[in-house]
Structure 1
């Protein structure tokens, strides 16, 4: 059995509760302790005993994993002002945190995890019925793993009316269950059906979009489609996360749970990261397959680097991200041309962006202006979004949207939720899109989406 050195937090609960009674306001107690190494997948699996509101985040380029269980504070927003409104509420809660955190590491303490819908207003209907438009949650229990070890944060919302003894006993019992997981025998799940949702109609939409692009100021639009899977039983989300982490180890692996539905995926695309005021973003646009041999792989990569359509699309993204970052940062550094970013199934054109965040701005300021990038929306940005709303039959929900985390020390990271699926009961909806320009060919764009479905199909029982 895993031996964990924990300490009781009842005295801290009493101290903060007395302040809550004196000031007549709710306060957030946050206690972080270093624990012996904890498997994040076991912690995530154990979390379903506590609450069906779990979060998982694994970094693409460093040994860093966050697992959130249950909710101390949950903030939901909708509408055109959702980003600044979320920022305001998060800042309000961060000012009401009473923290004990000897490690003072990034990603510990009162960390908020979540995401934003692609559109500013939710679109009712399947498969996103249980998901809010935008939500950030400070979890009740947070496991943070980095190369130096494991850290457990307990976040408790304390109101003046709270029963201190009752909450203290409950917290210790829940921690015991999380830190000493009981192994469960895995259940084998079989994929029974793969259904492409109106593929011919989608190709016709692509053809119509190429015509529309010749008539106005719209230069590019990204149109997505859906594939639905049916299993003989509900899939194990923990196993999906384990398989994604193993097979897509150069991607961000994520899961967000709302109302029994799970938005899960492995995306290679960072939107923006801020660490100690250093800002990092990335332009990832332009896709091709990996080769079966080293020579074939190099040939495919060289073709991508020389492909005019993909280079033009990539440059759209580079210029848009540079423009957005320059509003909030200084010392902006962008390479002259792209390189190749190679994943298990795919390779992409890639250009990193580095800068220093200006005083007075935050991570969510940058996220607001970057979403959606031309790689997921189009150009001009707002015109492309309106075109998507009017012509794309699929409900995007959180697909192609910012997902990530932010802590109280201005650190955080958001990725773009592609290579993803929404799972509920024994069903899954997979999403993939492509950038449409005047020269686009519907059949070629269809084949590109089939390539982009591969990472999720591989872990859900489809062919790789």
Structure 2
């Protein structure tokens, strides 16, 4: 069976190479095949032997995982038009792709994975030097795992000047390497945490106090301010082990990793930004947080207190109204419950309101992402004024933190989450991030304690206490 697949792939590649040579321009080839069930963590780990540009995405609500290795096409845009320009370039590539995908399944074929910086312009400051302002990648090798099994897509940008036999040899070697089982992660003990450093905590608390004064003056309704905690380990962290541990400990969250230049942005976020599947649009309002109780009774008491807390309900309603406005621009049949419910995670519980709609013809997932980012839960209100305030007063560089990360395929399907509960890992060091929504009556010490709770999920998998 494998020999038949190999022959078919070689035959298609030769045809595409001949077309590229005749037209004297590169062509994108995409071939999807069903393979034996393959562990996504093994595929990700083996991928470092092929290319140190890797992507990992695991859904929060279904058996669905994507792992991308290498890049056939990499798109990086900056400025206010970065979402539309990325969408247009992806469309242009897909318009002329030579594709063989008999399965018609979401998340196969010319899927692009990646994310965008919090702000439309890139500063390149510490600690985000390796990350562009935005990056969407169609990987050279894409593993798609769902309830029906494993599917491997090979995307290759075929240049007319390349030797076709060399391409075939390299491609088959890489595919074999990626499908070789790797069990090294089963015995890994992880890193030992040697140092925790809070970055300018006094200045951050003062920034909260300053923001409340600004809010009382009436310039803003709400602003979200985040802070950074830096970790040092006894050795280089294994990103594969971090992903496994996050998947085990935070199984109701989206687990992600994006690799750029030896740095990894990794996280387990509970917050979906927007999903589109078969033109059905789903979003969620997740704002208002408290911890989990140590007993069932305490947990219920904390949850009820959150549901009835005026500050948190007001903060949550800001998010609901903003998402409603953004979704209505591109959708019909918008459905939103009148009151929130509780969304419970391992360490935290949140106020939660789902959003459902039908995406209009002529629009894409990235159109909605553009208008939703940043939601009031991550930026504030009014949106533009809050983002400006953050850029001037926040005591850290957000980079990709609190930004849209996710994937989109060639059939308008895709999903983006908000990159919170996350860390930037570089060798034996990591930066963790957490923020809180500041309103008029916010108290610096209480907001500081809230961020400590939000840091726990990532801290727990990196050697700290839960």
Same fold by TM-score greater than 0.5: yes
In the TM superposition, residue 162 of structure 1 has moved relative to its aligned partner by 2.1
In the TM superposition, residue 215 of structure 1 has moved relative to its aligned partner by 1.3
In the TM superposition, residue 188 of structure 1 has moved relative to its aligned partner by 4.0
The match for 1:194 is: 196
Moved over 4 A (4+): 3-6
TM-score by length of 1: 0.98
Q: Is the 8 A contact 2:124 2:132 kept in 1?
A: no
Correspondences of 1:6-85 after superposition (within 5 Å): 6-8=5-7, 9-85=9-85
Report how many residues are paired.
Answer: 462
The match for 1:119 is: 119
SS of the equivalent of 1:13 reads helix
Q: Is the 8 A contact 1:4 1:179 kept in 2?
A: no
SS of the equivalent of 1:192 reads strand
2:151 and 2:189 mapped to 1: Cα distance?
Answer: 30
SS of the equivalent of 1:77 reads coil
Say yes or no: does 1:87 pair with 2:82: no
Say yes or no: does 1:400 pair with 2:399: no
Structure 1 unaligned residues grouped into runs of 5+? none
In the TM superposition, residue 217 of structure 1 has moved relative to its aligned partner by 2.9
Deviations 1:341-362 (A, max 9, x none): 0000000000000000000000
Deviations 1:382-439 (A, max 9, x none): 0000000000120000000000000000000000000000000100000000000001
Deviates more, 1:4-13 or 1:173-182: 4-13
In the TM superposition, residue 187 of structure 1 has moved relative to its aligned partner by 5.6
The match for 1:390 is: 392
Structure 2 unaligned residues grouped into runs of 5+? none
The match for 2:99 is: 99
Q: CA RMSD in A?
A: 1.2
1:97 and 1:335 mapped to 2: Cα distance?
Answer: 42
Q: Is the 8 A contact 1:211 1:438 kept in 2?
A: yes
Relative to structure 1, the CA distance from residue 460 to residue 277 in structure 2 (aligned partners, 3 Å threshold; closer, same or farther) is: same
Correspondences of 1:415-430 after superposition (within 5 Å): 415-430=417-432
1:69 and 1:61 mapped to 2: Cα distance?
Answer: 24
2:4 and 2:416 mapped to 1: Cα distance?
Answer: 32
Deviations 1:234-284 (A, max 9, x none): 111000000000000000000000000000000000000000100000000
Deviates more, 1:436-445 or 1:118-127: 118-127
In the TM superposition, residue 4 of structure 1 has moved relative to its aligned partner by 11
The match for 2:143 is: 143
Correspondences of 1:175-190 after superposition (within 5 Å): 175-184=175-184, 186=188, 188-190=190-192
Q: Is the 8 A contact 2:45 2:182 kept in 1?
A: no
The match for 1:313 is: 315
Deviates more, 1:21-30 or 1:130-139: 21-30
The match for 1:170 is: 170
Relative to structure 1, the CA distance from residue 357 to residue 109 in structure 2 (aligned partners, 3 Å threshold; closer, same or farther) is: same
Deviations 1:325-356 (A, max 9, x none): 00000000000000000000000000000000
SS of the equivalent of 1:104 reads coil
